[in-house]
Amino acid sequence: MSVKTPVIAVFDIGRTNKKVFLWNTAFQIVFEKQQHFAEIHDEDGFACEDLAALRQWIVSTFTELCQMPEFEIIGLNFSAYGASFVYVDRMGEPVAPLYNYLKPVSTPFPYAEYGGEGEFARKTASPILGNLNSGLQVYASTFRAFWPEVFKALHLPTYLASLFTGKLLSEITSIGCHTALWDFDEGQYHPWVSVIEDKLAPISAQTSLEIDGIHYGLGLHDSSAALVPYLRSRQDEFVLLSTGTWCIAMHPFNKSPLTADELANDVLCYLQPNGKPVKASRLFGGHFHDEQVARMEGHFGGSFLDLRFSERVFSLSGSVSSPFECAFAARNLNDFPDLASAYDQFMVDLVSQQIYSLNLLLKDAPVKQLLVDGGFSKNEWYMLLLANAFPTVEIYAAEVAQASALGAALLVYEGEIPQNLIQLKRF
């Protein structure tokens, strides 16, 4: 009889792609699978996640994994995007769509009752971002017809965990990701939350539960999850720039209080699994890249993947707009002779915005190391332009496989963690 390999399963749920990984105890990926679901529409006709399809895929996939003869599942966890709530009845069944955080706000929040927008944003470490402040989605839901059916409102990762644990619980990283729920001054829910607190699942003091020999995680916010491998393996102070749809720079060592200017430029705080705050700045960089590449390729033809980096980009000047707008979007593509020159300018604009965003974190707490993971860590334009902009900082592309999923896996593993979790390439 062959010996089964102990593995930890992690479902990593992004807005676009859904992935599942199996990690062995050396934290190597021994199995992975990816799924994409077409969006459906909520009752207002706005595009949203197909929660039923997602749930069915996760449950059936985990069943399949458990039946694979070569593996023994010892842990299960979930990393998922923030700004999304699942509303369930007493049976744990959803009673509403998984609303899209890009949907316009339907019900104004009474900021004036809590010191105005500026003070509210400061205390909750949450820039005023409409439905990206997911707690305010819950507030708006109190006015919807389904609200009397709601037993608990669960963050998406904790809802997915509940499918396996049977426990309706909250966990701190999901509460602390620009939700406008948490009072960072007091280290507890903000006073306004008393309006909905009976509908929020209790906060767990643990990050996992052991059931029948398997450690089930409670899920966690993907950006906070991505930080876990670095905090567990790095000795020097650093900033982690996690790149994907959102480019999120996290500075665990910056203790300075949030300012009004920072909040206006999408600087906020997350919470680590241990409850400690992490100052962070955000840029919708991956989204900008997808949008503008599609615009450029539609105009010029060809593919940006065929382009080659040229040092001519260092002679170009970048344009900076707000962190919520792509500076390059205002440029006329007819001003460029070809795809290569347009893409060069786009990347200079994008990285100029990224530099501005990073400097908001670094001005009060400089570091010697900037670690870049995710999609842009493999983009020469992005990495070399960053290195050129920060000559006194060591810029590394971090070769860590699936950092968010890895962080979720680490939180349900009780054994010794290998020292070579992260491979670094200096630029």
Where b means 16+ CB within 10 Å and e means fewer, 59-94 reads: eebbeebeeeeebebbbbbbbbbbbbbbbbeeebeb
pLDDT, position 1: 55
Residue 254 shares a structural domain with residue 388:
yes
Answer whether residue 38 shows pLDDT above 90.
Answer: yes
Give me the mean pLDDT over the 57-86 stretch.
95
262 in the same domain as 214: no
134-172 per-position pLDDT tens digit: 999 999 999 999 999 999 999 999 999 999 999 999 999
Give the domain-ending residue among 184, 218, 252: 218
Contacts of 7 (CB under 8 A, 6+ apart): 22, 23, 24, 25, 30, 31, 71, 72, 73, 74
Q: Residue 20 — φ and ψ, nearest 5°?
A: -130, 140
Contact indicator for 122, 258 with CB cutoff of 8 Å: yes
Can you give the pLDDT at residue 380? 96
Residues 6+ apart with CB under 8 A from 384: 309, 313, 427
Nearest to 248 by CA among 289, 284, 301: 284
CB-CB neighbours of 146 under 10 Å = 14
Let me know if 365 is exposed, middle or buried by CB neighbors in 10 A (0-12, 13-18, 19+). Answer: middle
Name the more confident of 366 and 193. Answer: 193
> Which residues have C-beta within 8 Å of that of residue 238, sequence separation ≥ 6?
230, 253, 367, 368, 369, 370, 371
Same domain? For 265 and 226 the reply is yes
The domain that holds 161 is classified in CATH as 3.30.420.40
Same domain for 208 and 283, yes or no, is no
Residue 333 has pLDDT above 80, yes or no: yes
Assess whether pLDDT exceeds 80 at residue 389. yes
**Does residue 345 share a domain with residue 333?**
yes
Domain boundary among 218, 250, 280: 218
Pseudo-torsion of CA 89, 93, 95, 98, nearest 10°? Answer: 130
Burial 34-50 (b: 16+ CB within 10 A, else e): eeeeeeeebeeeeebbb
Q: Are residues 127 and 239 in the same domain?
A: no
Give residue 281's pLDDT.
93
Same domain, 123 and 244: no
**241 band by pLDDT with thresholds 50, 70 and 90:** very high
Q: What is the Rg, in whole angstroms, of the alpha carbon atoms belonging to the chain?
A: 22
* Cα 292 from Cα 244, distance rounded (Å): 15
* 3 state SS of 132: helix
DSSP, collapsed to helix, strand or coil, labels residue 69 as coil
Nearest to 44 by CA among 177, 144, 153: 144
Question: What would the pLDDT profile of 270-328 be if each residue is shown by its tens digit?
Answer: 898 888 889 999 899 999 999 999 999 999 999 999 999 999 999 999 988 777 789 99
User: Strands, DSSP E only, in 284-382?
Assistant: 369-374
Work out the angle between the directed axes of helices 156-165 and 51-66 (0-180°, nearest 10): 40
* 245 band by pLDDT with thresholds 50, 70 and 90: confident
pLDDT digits (tens, 9 = 90+) for 352-384: 999 999 999 998 888 999 999 888 999 999 999
> Contact at 8 Å (CB) between 123 and 184?
yes
Q: Which domain holds residue 208?
A: 5-218
Last residue of a domain, one of 188, 218, 248: 218
Q: Does 174 have pLDDT greater than 60? A: yes
Arithmetic mean of pLDDT, 324-341: 95
pLDDT in tens, 125-135: 998 989 999 99
Shared-domain flag, residues 294 and 374: yes
Tokens encoding 421: 């979790």
Q: Residue range 15-31: average pLDDT?
A: 92
Within this chain, do residues 233 and 189 fall inside the same structural domain, yes or no?
no
Confidence of residue 190 (pLDDT cuts 50, 70, 90): very high
Q: Chain-wide mean pLDDT for the chain? A: 92
Q: Which of 271, 267, 180 is nearest to 228 (CA)?
A: 271
Residues 25 and 84 in one domain: yes
Number of domains in the chain: 2
pLDDT at 17: 85
pTM to 2 decimals?
A: 0.84
E strands along 222-331, which residues? 238-243, 247-251, 267-271, 277-283
pLDDT score recorded for residue 100: 93
pLDDT band at 399 (very low <50, low <70, confident <90, very high): confident
252 and 212 co-located in one domain: no
Question: Dihedral, CA atoms, 164, 167, 171, 175, nearest 10 degrees?
Answer: 100
Give yes or no: residues 323 and 423 share one domain.
yes
Residue 363 three-state SS: coil
Instruction: Give the tokens for residue 4.
Output: 């089964």
